[in-house]
Structure 1
Amino acid sequence: MCGIVGLFLKNGALEPRLGALLSGMLCTMTDRGPDSAGFAVYGTGAEGLKLTLRAADPALLADALDGMRRDLGLACEATARDTHTVLTLAASDEARVRAWLGAHARGIEVVGAGRRMEIFKEVGLPRAVAERFDLAAMTGSHAIGHTRMATESAVTTDGAHPFSTGRDECLVHNGSLSNHNGLRRRLEREGLAFATRNDSEVAAGYLTWRMRAGASLKEALESSLSDLDGFFTFVVGTETGFAVVRDPIACKPAVMAETDDYVAFGSEYRALVGLPGIEAARVFEPEPARVYAWERH
């Protein structure tokens, strides 16, 4: 049992409140997932690329940044948030930064990459995680979040969501996939790499693979309904979009609300009650095996 939340703003005037609104939604889902929490925020776009790095020891990140600047002559901006640091660098530098990290800083993970997306996740109660990264102060157009109850694996940050396998693409998942091992092997043969054994990372990789082949986010999610076995609710973010899909059985709870200002998702309605204008929203349960998608350009 896990909790999922998502908020996609249609009205740009609400962007300064995105983090505060998502924080309230995320913390409300604590009893669905008290073990760890995470979120992805789509904020101001970088001229190059943002890499979100994580290390258990923040000092390790600071030392690695000094080493990269020295060894690579790297020009970048760095914003530290607790155990994570967001690097803003030229997109052409991504490959050599990843290679340097692999060779010199094995304790550092790249948890996300994109022009707009920043990902933060840690073990702990959702409120504590949100406060550690100052989620309430973050701004942007859309965000997704997850609270985890580890029922099939250890309580680790590696198991926390969101998972990202492509630029500005990430996914949160409530459910369990039965064919993820076979699908993982297939995707690895297609050139995708995975950092964990989590089935949700495989789902994220599947969507990345389909979209790299030219599918839209909506088309990739439609394909997932036949290619992924198990039960699932996915909430997905891209640079410009936000989407939701439930498996054909739809055994996991889900509710959505839409107004002229936003679209919101929660595993339970109580995650939505603090949103502005919720009393006038169109509130509905997303149908099984139907993709719901919105985009802003």
Structure 2
Amino acid sequence: MGDLLTDMLITMTDRGPDSAGIAIYGTPGEGHKITVQSDTPETDFDGLGDALGAEIGGTVTTRVNDTHAVLTVLEGSRAAAIAALEARGLRIMGVGETMEIYKETGLPRDVAKRFGLRDMSGTHGIGHTRMATESAVTTLGAHPFSTDADQCLVHNGSLSNHNTMRRILTEKGFAPKTENDTEVAACYISSRIAEGADLGTALEGTLNDLDGFFTFVMGTKDGFGVVRDPIACKPAVMAETDDYVAFGSEYRAFAGLPGIESAKVWEPEPATVYFWER
């Protein structure tokens, strides 16, 4: 799967040459995965697992991949581990039983190579290439954004009321950490779920509460969902076979997928929430 996603990302380089990221949903481990990023991994990741385990109590396994590291902690230790990692100045990319997130600035080809994305496997994954418009080109500004366990969001488009929504979400305790409007959308969905909404209802809420033009792709442990704004001016296309479901912002992203010549290829309807589960 990593090989297919890498080719899709590279194909779409001219839509997003500034940065790239990918969320991989793999096999659950014994505990929770916490993916972190550092600008100085040589020093920050050296002995990190042992130090963190001693601080929170319990064994912590560490797998380093370039500027990222995936730490696995016992489920009950997740909150303490995140607090300790943030106190060290490490950036939390995502947490969950199955999800790992890798993202950096640079061309999609280079980002994929540095993390070895072609060799990754899993049940499903979400990738994104970005052309920065409303915020700086930074690692934290790259997609996907994760604001809840095993959930991540990528976004094509622009929100006009993200600053107003940012203030509302901050008051609710779901403050975005970057200037990117996509993270505002991710925080919005997490806040709705915390209030008791299911994921489908939360995605439907974006149609009423988020102004602008957008296509959201939301990853979960069990699959992924898609929703487009009522105008649907941003391109989106789906491909389905008996073996897979694929989403892209242009058809050419599907060109290298196996069996694409006999796939059902179609465009998602505006203001409609779709889900696919494994």
Q: Tell me the TM-score normalised to structure 1 length.
A: 0.90
CA offsets 1:272-297 (integer angstroms, 9 cap, x no match):
0111111111101111111111112x
Counterpart of 2:181 in structure 1 is: 199
CA offsets 1:84-124 (integer angstroms, 9 cap, x no match):
00011101111222222233x12x11110000100000001
Q: 1:86 aligns with which of 67, 70, 79?
A: 70
1:101 aligns with 2:96: no
Is the 1:54–1:61 Cα contact (8 Å) retained in structure 2? no
Q: How well do the aligned residues superpose, as a CA RMSD in angstroms?
A: 1.4
Which runs of 5 or more residues in structure 2 are unaligned? none
Q: 1 or 2 for the larger relative contact order (CA 8 Å, sep ≥6)? A: 1
Q: 1:68 aligns with which of 52, 59, 72?
A: 52
Is the 1:259–1:282 Cα contact (8 Å) retained in structure 2? yes
**Counterpart residue identity of residue 78, structure 2:** E
Q: 1:32 aligns with which of 6, 9, 15?
A: 15
Regions of 4+ moved over 6 Å: none
1:47 aligns with 2:30: yes
Counterpart of 2:112 in structure 1 is: 130
**Alignment partners' CA distance in 2, 1:90 and 1:181:** 36
**Counterpart residue identity of residue 91, structure 1:** E
How is 1:85-234 mapped onto 2 (pairs within 5 angstroms)?
85-103=69-87, 105-106=88-89, 108-234=90-216
**Alignment partners' CA distance in 2, 1:63 and 1:33:** 35
CA offsets 1:164-205 (integer angstroms, 9 cap, x no match):
000001000011111112212222222223221211001011
Which runs of 5 or more residues in structure 1 are unaligned? 1-17
The count of corresponding residues between Structure 1 and Structure 2 is: 277
**Counterpart residue identity of residue 41, structure 2:** P
Q: 1:240 aligns with which of 203, 208, 222?
A: 222
Q: Give the CA deviation at 1:33.
A: 0.5
Is the 2:73–2:81 Cα contact (8 Å) retained in structure 1? no
What percent identity do the matched residue pairs reach?
A: 61
Change (3 A) 1:270 1:264: same
Please give the secondary structure, in 2, of the residue aligned with 1:75: coil
Please give the secondary structure, in 1, of the residue aligned with 2:3: helix
CA offsets 1:183-236 (integer angstroms, 9 cap, x no match):
122222222232212110010111112222332222211111011101101111
**Alignment partners' CA distance in 2, 1:212 and 1:238:** 16
